[in-house]
């Protein structure tokens, strides 16, 4: 899935195939903008790196900067750092952010970020990175590959360390994403050295569960992951337990992941909706429908989760609670 997805992001407009939270409702980015303003208060004063991984069309960052520009001193010392591999999307992002009076710098990878107090946002970034699938077979594992237009099973020669301790019954599939865990490990090491806070929002599970979650979206519709390689968006559920573990092993602190619905609720998304509806009653129906799509349990509210990581010694950021997801129900 790795190469097919790289080709996909480099060449296509992903937003004709799927639509993300910041594209659905401006309230998503506004809430995160207010959150960034509060979190910044807990970081050392001075230069501030506002970073985003996989910024898509730049909509989230644009909404965040709009909120910060309305907070007194909100943009002082801010530089924006975008981790984006697609040159085409970099151009779209440049245009989206041109109206803000802040420097914008692009990077290929998170370890290129400056060593300054920072906040990094990543919405639907982890799910864009490739997964490997393994099938429990007796005491060992077989790896599930795509060959030509078919799935094949081969005895797993290298059993990646990420599989250690993973439970699965005979014939069950376990997915791991070594590339996303490596990216989070690198972020965790940065957090252990440089004061910062990272917010990752994605669809996935709070605990590591077996199952095949690989899916393809093409033209807004589910498609066969094996058809049209490079033309469909391939994604897999994010395993937030593994992601949090990767960050903690690297020296960061992980909060418990929370559902997107609860996170937005606690941070006042409905209050913001009421303000917007009052200011523009003719747009109230559309605004309400958009936020409902992000928050309703049977839509994106429970499927999507927010995981916050931070440097040791910093307070728990708003909307989060300390500790792990242990004991929390899967969709709690």
Minimum distance, C-beta of residue 199 to ligand SAH, in the bound complex (Å): 12
Binding mask 120-159 for ligand SAH (x = CB under 6 A): ---xxx--xx------------------------------
Alpha carbon 199 to chain centroid, angstroms: 7
Binding mask 20-59 for ligand SAH (x = CB under 6 A): x-xx------------------------------xxx---
C-alpha to C-alpha distance for 185 and 226, rounded to whole angstroms? 30
**Alpha helices of 48-143 — where are they, by DSSP H?**
59-70, 87-97
Q: Are 307 and 255 contacting, i.e. CB atoms less than 8 angstroms apart?
A: yes
Pairing status of strand 233-235 against strand 221-223: unpaired
Minimum distance, C-beta of residue 322 to ligand SAH, in the bound complex (Å): 26
Should residue 180 be labelled a site residue for ligand SAH when binding is judged by CB under 6 A?
A: no
Q: In the chain, count H helices and then E strands.
A: 11, 16
Reported residue count of the chain is: 332
């007796």: which residue's tokens?
138
Binding mask 69-108 for ligand SAH (x = CB under 6 A): --------------xxxx--x-------------------
C-alpha to C-alpha distance for 51 and 62, rounded to whole angstroms? 12
| Part in contact with ligand SAH (CB under 6 A); list of ranges 15-23, 140-148, 211-219, 240-248 | 15-23
Q: Which is nearer to ligand SAH, 123 or 257 (CB)?
A: 123
Q: Which residues bind ligand SAH (CB under 6 A)?
A: 9, 14, 20, 22-23, 54-56, 60, 83-86, 89, 123-125, 128-129
């Amino acid at each position: 899935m790795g190469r097919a997805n790289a080709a996909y992001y480099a060449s296509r407009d992903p937003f004709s195939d799927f639509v993300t939270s910041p594209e659905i409702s401006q309230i998503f980015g506004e809430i995160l903008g207010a959150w960034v303003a509060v979190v910044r208060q807990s970081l050392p004063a001075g230069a501030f790196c506002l970073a985003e991984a996989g910024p898509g069309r730049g909509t989230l960052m644009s909404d965040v900067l709009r909120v910060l520009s309305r907070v007194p001193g909100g943009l002082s010392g801010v530089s924006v750092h975008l981790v984006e591999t697609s040159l085409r999307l970099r151009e779209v992002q440049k245009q989206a952010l041109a109206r803000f009076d802040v420097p914008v710098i692009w990077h290929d990878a998170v370890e290129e970020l400056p060593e300054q107090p920072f906040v990094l946002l990543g919405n639907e970034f982890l799910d864009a990175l490739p997964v490997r699938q393994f099938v429990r077979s007796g005491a060992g594992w077989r790896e599930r590959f795509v060959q030509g237009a078919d799935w094949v099973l081969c005895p797993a020669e290298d059993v990646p360390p990420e599989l250690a301790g993973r439970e699965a019954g005979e014939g069950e599939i376990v997915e791991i994403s070594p590339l996303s865990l490596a990216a989070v490990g690198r972020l965790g090491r940065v957090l252990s050295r440089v004061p910062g806070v990272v917010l990752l929002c994605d669809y996935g599970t709070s605990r590591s569960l077996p199952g095949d979650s690989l899916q393809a979206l093409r033209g807004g519709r589910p498609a066969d992951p094996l058809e049209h390689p490079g033309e469909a968006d391939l994604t897999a559920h994010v395993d937030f337990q593994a992601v949090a573990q990767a960050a903690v092993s690297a020296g960061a602190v992980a909060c418990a992941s929370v559902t997107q619905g609860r996170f937005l609720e606690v941070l006042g998304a409905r209050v913001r909706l009421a303000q917007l509806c009052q200011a523009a009653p003719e747009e109230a129906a559309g605004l309400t429908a958009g936020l409902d799509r992000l928050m309703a349990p049977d839509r994106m509210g429970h499927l999507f989760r927010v995981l916050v990581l931070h440097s040791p010694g910093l307070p728990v950021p708003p909307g989060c609670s300390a500790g792990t997801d242990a004991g929390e129900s899967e969709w709690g």
